[in-house]
Amino acid sequence: MENIEYKRVDKKAKSVMRLTALFLNLILFIVVAAVALILSAAAEVIPMGVAIAIIVVVLALLVAYVIIAPEIRYRRYRYYVDDDMLIVVEGLFFITKSIAPIERIHQIAINRGPIDRMFGMSNVDITTAGGEVRIAFLEDSVAEEIADKLKTRINTIVKAEKEMAAEGE
């Protein structure tokens, strides 16, 4: 398995990662800022200076996460698909390597969220007997190609299994 030539996703994936991180973390920032200000102004639980310090720290973390995390995730993200298996390697702090045998695939879906659509990107979601694997940040045409390749391979496996079962009767 060491000689596998992984494929990388398009550089547009970084933009998708950044925009997604921005939206999700912006909500978190608003909640933290509101709670800090309420605790400081209305409840007088913490001094206003501490509330502002909390807001500044959270904002700095948000900016770092939006700028740095997508770069790291992009560099680590890779995938591999052949006739026998698919592998996805991803992660920021913890690196996950998902391996799914093709013969275990039950369902294939192509998903495009609003941010994905803005950049012409798609995700291929694969449900197997053991769980789910997602190949994310693919250009739309590449996602369609992978889904078609997997479908064709699964159909070949099912046909061969039926023929073997028919021969055994």
- Residue positions counted in the chain: 169
Give residue 2's pLDDT: 65
pTM of the model: 0.83
Q: Sheet holding 105-111: strands in order across?
A: 105-111, 121-128, 131-139
- Rounded Cα–Cα distance for residues 109 and 151 (Å): 11
Which pLDDT tens digit goes with each residue over 48-82? Answer: 888 889 889 988 989 988 999 999 999 999 999 99
Which pLDDT tens digit goes with each residue over 114-148? Answer: 999 999 999 999 999 889 999 999 999 999 999 99
Mean pLDDT (the chain) is: 92
Whether residue 138 contacts residue 146, with contact meaning beta carbons closer than 8 Å, is answered with yes
1 — pLDDT class (breaks 50, 70, 90)? low
Which pLDDT tens digit goes with each residue over 2-30? Answer: 689 999 999 999 999 999 999 988 888 89
- Rounded to a whole number of angstroms, the CA Rg of the chain reads 22
